[in-house]
């Protein structure tokens, strides 16, 4: 049989089982998606294809067969030959997958020579390879070093190196992680095209359900090293039979999903660590459907009870198909009995207060006003003449790709940015650029939640100390236990140092610290980007709850439009230091909106890459804009179009011609 | 380029600072230089006369200016104790030291890179621990200690190498190198561990890097991956460590030359300091200081030339 | 993966730490109590028994004056174990203060401090040491000061670097949002997190101080000739290397054992510290 066949694959690290009896098949030309949260074993499976598990790891059982070749049974020499001839792997982090000390051309030529071309043929084929991944000016690219390319270009080169083989198996491990939305779309389009050209079996590994849904024919969902469900992508990702993917979907914010209308459901607890001994179903401790049977007996992978005709649909559950119940009951579960997991970490929310959805955003007066704010770092202008208003009780979302200036703007508001032109006022009173020079009352009013939960808490202090210090200097009530409880943290966490807490717990502690002095505005800088989906939903819910309970305003920053759209009442879109659009969340997301926003929400394909650097005198986005009007957009500053309801767009296009999302288009 | 220019300008400026330091410290010598030179029996008049000849009565800044001008134009004066021109003396000793340092360096680089790579490729295995711990221990041991042990084993017991670094006059280069073998070994032992550690660290990073694993997935053997990717990346990252160790090696010359009776600049520094032979001491210190700075500069420049990320600037 | 690698690293470093610490403690005990431990008076001349090889009467033989090598070996541990810890303590305290100050105030203060330290580092410490000791004369105080002075820039640089790394972390920014600044911020928030750097530095510098003290004595710039000090002994006895190698080997191996012990401890501490960071 041709294609890929994985049979009962098991991998362990130092005796701890990371992958447990995984089986699936992929026909040539088909794309199979492996999804799951971090630690579920998906990357380990990805590495097992090339027989390249980490040194402490061991493939303890099973077979991997590609076009009738038993990969795990090959001798070292035969394995090398097979890797060279039949395997192509695109790893995550393209920038690290290229040798920083070698020119792109040399690296690709080596890749070609490893695949059996002679020196001359390899040199000749390099430009062809670069053209196949749609890189303009291959000769120039070949002469460069990796650090001279953009992230998207680097990933294209990595894909080109993979294509140097004529692979029978193509493994894509988180191929777009770390790339900006627009670049991600380009890379996905490229992968989509190449997939049909190659006719190889393709395995796509990702934590991103939307991505897998777009590219894959079939999907396997991994949990704690086991496949818990597998079947046709459309079926599994829209109507899963297992409670875990169902809960995962319910905890993923999609575009157009808002906290006021479609609140997220967090999955309580956290996935078990590799090797953690468990009786029964590994999802049982987090599953609302779990009963004694689930806790004692591991369910088998059997046909799902939905009569699907699109292909085999398997599920590993004692109560398959009852997912509606699984998702509609967000109440937390009793503590697991094991002492180890008690003392370690849990992301559960003891408070069962599911706040009442309030349909309308509050309509307060202006709280914070930013006028003409500009910040430079050396020669680069990070923030360029930005105006922004945040009202009382309002959540303002700030989106943009990396380098758009959103973080600089947020940090400046918080008092952690540099100095420069422009003013920030709080209730009409000017704010000093440095937080330490602001009045104590102003410091109390503005607090911040940081991106990286692993560096935002002092590792030398206990959570109690951290919260007490904050409450004391911000003038809040000295009640660390109360703060922790409000943030959904168990009391026993108070006397632990941050290293004992999970990422989600740390972020909850950071939120508790920000609320220690009852702030008027909390700046949230990508607060969930470092967290797994199921944990992220819990933190988003907490931010939502705290906001409703206290009427605090948020300035909420994210590169992820779906996350911003979920929390925000109003959205501002930044591009290269400028706000190109702002307005009510719904209108900004749905349109008519700025062409750049259209690219971000995916309703508009981006312009082909490498057209220019946007350094012209006109619209910053002109070079990459699919709707560009030559001679106008690139030379003159775009006018401000008022679309009503305080929705403004900086664009030369007539408001009637501005793009908008097609009716009925679903979340990506 | 701008970096190189800035560093080149910094060399004479730093050297100026060094010259002040050298001059002032040497001028603060307790006791009378003239008395030191002439000995205790000399008459008061002859001491005063010598003071006048040496210009010791003039103010310090004037004497500094004279001395610096003389140093820059090559008039380094005459040695108080040996009664020979300081310039000939220092340059002669310098060339002897350079032969020793060059031999040590030529042995150091291949030994350290090989050991570092072996440790890195086998990282976290017994071989790695052996190389790392041994290197660390030897690097922490003063060179006169290793030198003495080498002497006992190879010169006294086995008689493979001569005990003295001083070859008879008219010896061939090979014979001279034979006499320098033991002193060079002690310097190599001193520096190998440190350089090997840096090569190892670079090798581990490179081996665990995604680009090495990608190369392996393209069907390359371990050895090919090491040769094409690991060797280059680990030696680049170890270049600056090599510069530091070269400085160390230079400092080690003082001890090693004393131990092995090698007539080099290190031994000269020590003897001129002990004998309070000021012109020789000042010139020796200045020459060593200059050498020191040039080594740092060379290592920095080499690092920048080898690493394209620095050579070609940050990402565009 | 780190969770799996960590216990192994701990265990491995644990053995090295134990051996290294045992060596150091043993020599410290010897340095403190050698008068009770020596079989002979270390300076006792005995012309009748010159150059005796190691045997039952003299475990490590005798030197050119008939002095007992073993007794001198024990007595020789004291000078180096007085000078090195004193110099290390001085250098670590001064260096840590300078490094913290440079990292805390940044800007012009940092620039000036770092330029001065750069200049000091550029000036080869061996030249400076030879200059100063030869000219200022030989004394324990001079030795301590010279060794400490040459280490201050090294300590200051690494403490400064660690301070700067911590200063960029969000928990420090959170403290600034509360209104903490300058020394208060450094002492309360940053210092606890750079203390491991200071400890690792102190151990490494202690090893270097032993190295430096021994070398100075060997060069005749530290302990006076005739002293039982190890460096001075090697220097005094190397003339009779062919005749009585034991008189040279014993102090040389003693120095080696001490620096190796310290190196093992320093490496283990650094390893733990790095494992703790990842």
Average pLDDT of A632-659? 87
Which pLDDT does position C124 carry in this prediction?
66
In this complex, the residue of B232, B233, B309 whose CB is nearest that of residue A147 is B309
**Nearest of A292, A289, A267, A266 to residue A279 by alpha carbon:** A292
Residue at C275 is within a domain: no
Q: Would you call A147 and B312 a contact, using CB atoms and an 8 Å cutoff?
A: yes
The residue whose two tokens read 């700067």 is C164
Residue A396 pLDDT > 90? yes
Alpha helices in A117-150 (DSSP H): 119-132, 138-143
Residue at C214 is within a domain: yes
Q: How far apart are CA C222 and CA C255, in angstroms?
A: 15
Distance of CA C79 to the CA centre of its chain: 13
Instruction: Report the relative pairing of strands A218-223 and A31-35 from DSSP bridges.
Output: parallel
| C-beta separation of A408 from A526 below 8 A | no
Q: What is the pLDDT of residues C131-149, one digit of tens each?
A: 787 677 788 898 999 999 9
Q: Would you call A13 and C1 a contact, using CB atoms and an 8 Å cutoff?
A: yes
For residue A87, the cross-strand partners are A169
Residue C10 pLDDT > 60? no
Q: Would you call A513 and C174 a contact, using CB atoms and an 8 Å cutoff?
A: yes
Give me the numbers of helices (H) and strands (E) for chain B, helices first please: 14, 0
| C-beta separation of B122 from B207 below 8 A | no
Residue at C204 is within a domain: yes
- Edge-to-edge strand order for the sheet containing A69-70? A16-26, A4-13, A57-66, A69-70
Kindly list the residues from chain B whose CB atom is less than 8 angstroms away from the CB atom of residue A97: 210-211, 214
Min Cα separation C126/chain B (Å):
6
Residue at C9 is within a domain: no
| C-beta separation of B265 from B90 below 8 A | yes
Min Cα separation C135/chain B (Å):
5
Size of interface A-C (CB pairs under 8 A): 64
Which pLDDT does position C166 carry in this prediction?
92
Which pLDDT does position A457 carry in this prediction?
94
Which pLDDT does position B30 carry in this prediction?
62
Q: Would you call B213 and A91 a contact, using CB atoms and an 8 Å cutoff?
A: yes
If you count them, how many residues does chain B have?
A: 316
- Is the Cα dihedral C115, C116, C119, C125 positive or negative? negative
Q: What is the pLDDT of residues C241-273, one digit of tens each?
A: 888 889 999 999 999 999 999 988 988 888 777
Residue at C67 is within a domain: yes
Which residues does C129 contact at the CB level (< 8 Å), separation at least 6?
Answer: C146, C147, C150, C212, C216, C221
Min Cα separation A614/chain C (Å):
31
- Is the Cα dihedral B203, B209, B211, B212 positive or negative? positive
Residue at C18 is within a domain: no
Q: How far apart are CA B173 and CA B51, in angstroms?
A: 45
Alpha helices in A373-450 (DSSP H): 406-414, 440-445
Structure ipTM: 0.83
Count of domains for chain C: 1
In this complex, the residue of C1, C173, C193 whose CB is nearest that of residue A459 is C193
Which helix H or strand E contains A446, and what residues bound it? Answer: strand A446-449
Residue A244 pLDDT > 60? yes
Q: How far apart are CA A177 and CA A354, in angstroms?
A: 33
Q: What is the pLDDT of residues C39-98, one digit of tens each?
A: 888 888 888 888 888 988 888 888 888 899 899 999 999 999 999 999 999 999 999 999
Min Cα separation B114/chain A (Å):
20
What's the token pair of residue C138? 């030989």
CATH number at residue C214: 1.10.3720.10
Average pLDDT of A175-183? 79
Q: How far apart are CA B103 and CA B184, in angstroms?
A: 6
Kindly list the residues from chain A whose CB atom is less than 8 angstroms away from the CB atom of residue B316: 148
Q: Which of B138, B140, B297 to probe by mutation at the C interface, max C CB count within 10 Å?
A: B140
**Nearest of B214, B215, B155 to residue B185 by alpha carbon:** B155
Which pLDDT does position C60 carry in this prediction?
87
Cβ-based neighbour number of residue A430 at 10 Å: 12
In this complex, the residue of A83, A101, A145 whose CB is nearest that of residue B219 is A83
Q: What is the pLDDT of residues B79-95, one digit of tens each?
A: 888 889 999 999 999 99
Q: Would you call B221 and A111 a contact, using CB atoms and an 8 Å cutoff?
A: no
| C-beta separation of A509 from A493 below 8 A | yes
Residue B83 region by backbone torsions, left for phi larger than 0, else alpha for psi between -120 and 50, else beta = left
Average pLDDT of A154-166? 87
| C-beta separation of A436 from A410 below 8 A | no
Q: Please name the residue of chain C whose CA is at the shortest distance from the CA of residue A15.
A: C4
Question: pLDDT averaged over chain B?
Answer: 85
The residue whose two tokens read 């996905």 is A188
**Nearest of C112, C201, C197 to residue C154 by alpha carbon:** C201
Q: Calculate the dihedral angle through the C-alpha atoms of A399, A404, A410, A413, rounding to the nearest 10 degrees.
A: -130
Q: How far apart are CA A527 and CA A507, in angstroms?
A: 7
Q: Calculate the dihedral angle through the C-alpha atoms of B284, B289, B294, B295, rounding to the nearest 10 degrees.
A: 100
Q: How far apart are CA A539 and CA C22, in angstroms?
A: 50
Q: Which of C127, C214, C242, C271 to probe by mutation at the B interface, max B CB count within 10 Å?
A: C127
Cβ-based neighbour number of residue C24 at 10 Å: 21
CB-side neighbour CA atoms (13 Å) of A646: 13
Which pLDDT does position C238 carry in this prediction?
87
Q: Please name the residue of chain A whose CA is at the shortest distance from the CA of residue B306.
A: A101
Range of the domain at C154: 41-260
Q: What is the pLDDT of residues A304-322, one digit of tens each?
A: 876 656 678 899 999 888 7
Q: How far apart are CA B131 and CA B187, in angstroms?
A: 17
A91 touches B: beta carbon within 8 Å: yes
Alpha helices in A367-462 (DSSP H): 406-414, 440-445
Q: Would you call A164 and B307 a contact, using CB atoms and an 8 Å cutoff?
A: no
pLDDT greater at residue A558 or residue A95: A558
Cβ-based neighbour number of residue A443 at 10 Å: 24
Q: How far apart are CA A48 and CA A62, in angstroms?
A: 11
Which pLDDT does position A310 carry in this prediction?
61
Q: How far apart are CA A369 and CA A362, in angstroms?
A: 18
């Amino acid at each position: 049989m041709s294609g890929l066949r994985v049979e009962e694959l098991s991998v362990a690290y130092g005796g701890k089982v990371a992958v447990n009896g995984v089986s699936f098949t992929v026909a040539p030309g088909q794309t199979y998606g492996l999804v799951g949260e971090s630690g579920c074993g998906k990357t380990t499976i990805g590495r097992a294809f090339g027989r390249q598990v980490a040194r402490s790891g061991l493939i303890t059982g099973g077979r991997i067969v590609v076009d009738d070749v038993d990969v795990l049974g090959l001798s070292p020499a035969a394995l090398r030959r097979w890797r060279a001839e039949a395997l192509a792997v695109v790893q995550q982090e393209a920038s690290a997958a290229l040798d920083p000390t070698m020119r792109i051309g040399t690296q690709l030529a080596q890749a070609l020579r490893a695949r059996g071309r002679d020196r001359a043929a390899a040199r000749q084929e390099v430009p062809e390879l670069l053209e196949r991944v749609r890189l303009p000016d291959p000769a120039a690219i070949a002469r460069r070093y990796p650090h001279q390319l953009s992230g998207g270009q680097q990933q294209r080169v990595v894909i080109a190196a993979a294509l140097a083989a004529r692979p029978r198996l193509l493994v894509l491990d988180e191929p777009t992680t770390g790339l900006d939305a627009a670049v991600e779309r380009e890379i996905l389009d490229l992968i989509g095209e190449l997939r049909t050209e190659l006719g190889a079996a393709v395995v796509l590994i990702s934590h991103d359900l939307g991505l897998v849904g777009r590219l894959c024919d079939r999907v396997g969902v991994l949990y704690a090293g086991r496949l818990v469900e597998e079947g046709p992508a459309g079926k599994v990702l829209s109507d899963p039979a297992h409670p875990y993917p169902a809960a995962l979907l319910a905890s993923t914010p999609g575009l157009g999903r808002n906290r006021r209308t479609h609140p997220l459901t967090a999955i309580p607890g956290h996935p078990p660590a590799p090797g953690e001994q468990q009786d029964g179903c590994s999802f049982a401790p987090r599953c609302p459907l779990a009963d004694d049977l689930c806790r004692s007996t591991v369910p088998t992978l059997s046909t799902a009870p939905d009569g699907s005709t699109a292909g085999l649909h398997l599920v590993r559950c004692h109560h398959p198909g009852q997912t509606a119940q699984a998702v509609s009951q967000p109440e937390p579960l009793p503590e697991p009995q094991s002492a180890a997991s008690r003392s370690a970490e849990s992301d559960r929310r003891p408070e069962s207060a599911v706040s009442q959805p309030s349909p309308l955003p509050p309509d307060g007066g202006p709280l914070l006003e930013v006028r003409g704010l500009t910040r430079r770092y050396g020669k680069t202008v990070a923030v360029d003449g930005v105006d922004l208003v945040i009202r009382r009780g309002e959540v303002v979302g700030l989106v943009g790709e990396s380098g758009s200036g959103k973080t600089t703007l947020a940090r400046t508001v918080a008092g952690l940015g540099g100095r420069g032109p422009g003013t920030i006022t709080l209730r009409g009173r000017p704010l000093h650029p440095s937080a330490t020079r602001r009045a104590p009352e102003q410091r109390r009013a503005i607090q911040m939640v940081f991106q990286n939960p692993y560096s935002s808490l002092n590792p030398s202090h206990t959570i109690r100390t951290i919260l007490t210090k904050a409450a004391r200097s911000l003038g809040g009530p000295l009640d660390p236990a109360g703060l922790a409880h409000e943030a959904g943290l168990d009391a026993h966490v108070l006397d632990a140092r941050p290293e004992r807490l999970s990422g989600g717990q740390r972020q909850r502690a950071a939120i508790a610290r920000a609320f220690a002095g009852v702030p008027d505005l909390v700046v949230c800088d990508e607060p969930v980007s470092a967290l797994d989906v199921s944990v992220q939903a819990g933190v988003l819910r907490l931010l939502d709850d705290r906001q409703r309970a206290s009427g605090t305003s948020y300035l909420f920053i994210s590169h992820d439009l779906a996350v911003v759209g979920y929390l925000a009442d109003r959205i501002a879109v930044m591009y290269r230091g400028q706000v190109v659009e702002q307005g009510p969340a719904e209108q900004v997301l749905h349109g008519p909106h700025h062409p750049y926003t259209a690219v971000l929400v995916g309703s508009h394909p981006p312009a082909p890459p490498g057209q220019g650097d946007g350094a012209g005198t006109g619209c910053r986005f002109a070079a990459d804009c699919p709707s560009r009007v030559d001679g106008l957009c690139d030379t003159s500053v775009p006018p401000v179009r008022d679309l009503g309801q305080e929705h403004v767009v900086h664009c030369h296009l007539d408001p009637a011609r501005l793009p908008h999302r097609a009716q009925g288009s679903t979340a990506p | 380029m701008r970096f190189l220019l800035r560093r080149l300008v910094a060399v004479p400026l730093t050297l100026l600072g060094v010259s002040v330091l050298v001059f002032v410290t040497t001028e603060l010598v307790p006791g009378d230089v003239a008395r030191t030179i002439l000995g205790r029996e000399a008459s008061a008049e002859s001491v005063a006369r010598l003071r006048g000849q040496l210009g010791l009565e003039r103010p310090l800044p004037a004497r500094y200016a004279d001395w610096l001008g003389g140093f820059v134009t090559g008039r380094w004066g005459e040695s108080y104790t040996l009664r020979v021109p300081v310039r000939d003396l220092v340059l002669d000793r310098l060339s002897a030291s350079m032969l020793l340092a060059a031999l040590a360096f030529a042995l150091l680089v291949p030994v350290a890179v090989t050991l570092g790579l072996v440790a890195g490729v086998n990282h976290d295995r017994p071989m790695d621990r052996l190389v790392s711990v041994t290197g660390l221990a030897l690097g922490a041991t003063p060179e006169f200690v290793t030198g003495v042990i080498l002497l006992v084993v190879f010169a006294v017991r086995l008689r493979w190498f001569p005990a003295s670094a001083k070859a008879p006059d008219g010896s061939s280069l090979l014979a001279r190198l034979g006499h320098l073998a033991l002193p060079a070994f002690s310097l190599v032992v001193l520096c190998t561990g440190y350089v090997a550690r840096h090569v190892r660290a670079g090798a581990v990073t490179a081996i665990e890097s995604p680009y090495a694993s990608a190369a392996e997935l393209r069907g390359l053997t371990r050895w090919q991956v090491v040769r094409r990717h690991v060797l280059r990346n680990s030696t680049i990252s170890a270049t600056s460590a090599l510069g530091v160790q070269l400085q160390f090696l230079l400092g080690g010359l003082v001890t090693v030359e004393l131990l092995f009776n090698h007539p080099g600049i290190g031994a000269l520094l020590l003897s001129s300091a002990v004998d309070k032979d000021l012109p020789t001491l000042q010139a020796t210190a200045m020459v060593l200081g200059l050498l020191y700075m040039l080594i740092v500069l060379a290592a920095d420049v080499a690092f920048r030339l080898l690493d394209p990320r620095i050579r070609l600037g940050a990402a565009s | 993966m780190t969770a799996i690698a960590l216990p192994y690293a701990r265990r491995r470093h644990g053995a090295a730490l134990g051996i290294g610490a045992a060596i150091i403690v043993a020599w410290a005990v010897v340095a403190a109590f050698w008068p009770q431990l020596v079989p002979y008076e270390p300076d006792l001349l005995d012309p009748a028994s010159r150059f005796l090889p190691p045997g039952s009467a003299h475990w490590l033989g005798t030197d050119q004056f008939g002095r007992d090598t073993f007794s001198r070996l024990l007595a020789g541990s004291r000078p180096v174990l007085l000078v090195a810890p004193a110099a290390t303590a001085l250098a670590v305290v001064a260096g840590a203060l300078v490094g913290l100050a440079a990292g805390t105030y940044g800007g012009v203060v940092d620039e000036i401090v770092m330029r001065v330290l750069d200049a000091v580092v550029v000036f080869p410490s061996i030249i400076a040491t030879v200059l100063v000791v030869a000219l200022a004369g030989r004394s324990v105080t001079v030795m301590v000061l010279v060794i400490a002075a040459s280490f201050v820039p090294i300590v200051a640089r690494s403490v400064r670097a660690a301070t700067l790394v911590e200063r960029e972390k969000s928990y420090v920014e959170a403290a600034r949002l509360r209104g903490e600044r300058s020394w208060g911020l450094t002492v309360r928030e940053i210092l606890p997190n750079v203390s491991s750097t200071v400890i690792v530095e102190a151990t490494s510098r202690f090893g270097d101080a032993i190295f430096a003290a021994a070398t100075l004595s060997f060069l005749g710039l530290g302990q006076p000739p005739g002293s039982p000090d190890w460096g001075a002994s090697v220097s005094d006895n190397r003339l009779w290397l062919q005749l009585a190698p034991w008189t040279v080997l014993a102090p040389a191996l003693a120095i080696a054992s001490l620096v190796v012990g310290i190196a093992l401890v320093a490496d283990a501490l650094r390893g733990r510290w790095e494992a703790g960071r990842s």
